[in-house]
Amino acid sequence: MEKLKKKFGKKAFSEPAEETPVVVPEKKEVLPNIKIVPLGAGQDVGRSCILITIGTKNIMVDCGMHMGYQDDRRFPDFSYVFKKIFLEKTFFFSYIGGGGRLTDYLDCVIISHFHLDHCGSLPHMSEIVGYDGPIYMTYPTKAICPVLLEDYRKVQCDIKGETNFFTSDDIKNCMKKVIGCALHEIIQVDDQLSIRAFYAGHVLGAAMFEIRVGDHSVLYTGDYNMTPDRHLGAARVLPGVRPTILISESTYATTIRDSKRARERDFLRKVHETVMKGGKVIIPVFALGRAQELCILLESYWERMALNVPIYFSQGLAERANQYYRLFISWTNENIKKTFVERNMFEFKHIRPMEKGCEDQPGPQVLFSTPGMLHGGQSLKVFKKWCSDPLNMIIMPGYCVAGTVGARVINGEKRIEIDGKVHEIKLGVEYMSFSAHADAKGIMQLIRQCEPKHVMFVHGEAEKMEFLKGKVEKEYDIPVHMPANGETCVIEVEPKMDIRVPLEKINKSIALDPNPSKLECPFVAEIVYDQEKETIDVMPSTRLVETEDFMPITLSLSEIIKVIKIDWNQIAADLIIYDPNLQQKNDGIEMFHGEITLLANNEKDTELEVIWDESREGWARVVRSSLLRYASPEQTPPPEPQEPSSPIPVNA
């Protein structure tokens, strides 16, 4: 109570008499308009926390911590909820100082995944602010979340000496309120509110959540990745999911990442060159996720090249990864599942646990160290030791929140003060995005799949959101919202009415109009590939919606064109008439948000690979025909140029 008096002023509170009962007025039935308020991650990256109101139901999705702050600003702005309660006079404000202060307001809390910027404030919210209601997350998140929260508590309290922080008991008591949920399981929170989880890729256990009240729904993505990688699959929702509003992260709203093969090739080359010169490479990562992705990549490269330079990872990283990936093998991609019985991909031959003092040993080495943004822990400790040697290199494989040491390093600062001491930054710095977030192409792809009536961007920078907002509104004619923290966004929803019409009246209406087009409908179906039986079948979309055993995929096609010599500048100049927004890279060209990609297929630049999504088949023919002028004499001429046409919409 005293803390809240200091925060809101004494006039807002009155001490309750013990005999006075708490009166909670009945909630009135209202039209189910959707109100959304970011308490964190509104035009910002970090401390994700979104308050969603559908009719009379209030849901909080994510409860993260901002890694760029060390004071109360790292927590979501929970004071907004109390002000909202007071202004709407939903409850007597003098009583919110008691236990369960948020319990009577929130119907449930949902956590999308275990990263601290999405779950780091959960014990603070439930045990210090006060919430006793249900908290939903997937089973992998439920297993991993308390481990990472306890690690973070140790860093803040045992190492940095903080006293105003949640305790180990707070974490345990918080996790007692957690209810695990399986993918595609419809969980009925109460008689009106239901939630359902969908696979999000990103990290083990990450999920998008559909929140439904009556006929209206919100699809909250959390962090997601539309591109499969070496150990996780791509994000996917079931066919037929059509939310009223899609709330999407926008971390990489203006980025279309380079081809994965080129990015991996560049990463391996930089690491190899540095260790061959005798330097050390530090790769800051979070304990689970990109660490496993890059470990698998380096392990196979070291094996192929017969290198004996030591690779270390932070203590406990492999043990944890093996435990969780073995327990939740069904959440990995098909390749990991198939080989897991014969060979555990996470038991590495060339990568071993970090030994005490190994960072001080002479000679080259590679170190995976946590955490990923250099905001503390082992990675910051080693960085301070290695940063002054120009032979060394730091490779930042993911996004860093503004204010962290990692963000300052990426921005090119040469002198950085850390813990009161100024450090000269002389080592090589490389930022290579292996981040498992959806890029601009992936975000547009999800919008195209879900066909929402509204889109909202969170978890991104305002300028980048504004850019993507314009593209979505122009291409899909959908209203896009991007509220700041504390700003309420109201979505006016149209009431839905079902009308029962007797079959005889429908038949009579058809009989009165002899037009044959009224008697039949276009055939819409899905092409389904059964991996076990190796068969292809055509199946009605309605049956797929009711089934959980299918994963929608997008087919990509490619063709190799032999050329005399690739001239990217000239090719880009020829193709820009088809896509004014094409992006020319060092090793290729991307068109239509990456749905058509041109890459060099050999080091001599005499083979050009054209890769296109099935949805761009029409434009791909035009592009391939335009490339005919560069073809070498032995190249078989592509088909005659044709105007792009809209193919029959068959989802694969």
- Which residues are marked as active site? 249
Q: Torsions phi, psi of 508, nearest 5?
A: -65, -40
Residue 448 tokens read as 């195209």
Q: Comparing C-alpha atoms, which of 280, 258, 262 is closest to residue 271? A: 280
Pairing of strands 535-540, 556-562: unpaired
* Type of residue at 483: P
DSSP state of 412: T
Cα separation, 303 vs 589, in Å, equals: 32
DSSP type of residue 331: G
Comparing CA positions, the residue from 636, 221, 156 lying closest to residue 442 is 221
> With helix as H, strand as E and coil as C, how does 256-292 read?
CCCCHHHHHHHHHHHHHHHHHCCCEEEEECCCCCHHH
Residue 440 three-state SS = helix
> Cβ(385)–Cβ(419) under 8 Å?
no
Which residue, among 153, 159, 131, has the nearest Cα to 58 in the 3D structure?
A: 131
150 touches 168 (CB < 8 A): yes
Are 609 and 600 within 8 A, CB to CB? yes
In 287-376, beta strands by DSSP E = 311-313, 351-353, 365-369
> Measured between alpha carbons, how far is 407 from 601 in angstroms, rounded to an integer?
34
d(CA 489, CA 22) in angstroms, rounded, equals 31
Contact 111, 122 (CB under 8 A): yes
The verdict on whether omega for the bond into residue 483 sits within 30 degrees of 0, i.e. cis, is no
H helix intervals, 154-259: 168-175
Contact 62, 118 (CB under 8 A): yes
For residue 144 the two structure tokens come to 């991993």
- Adjacent-strand bridge partners of 619: none
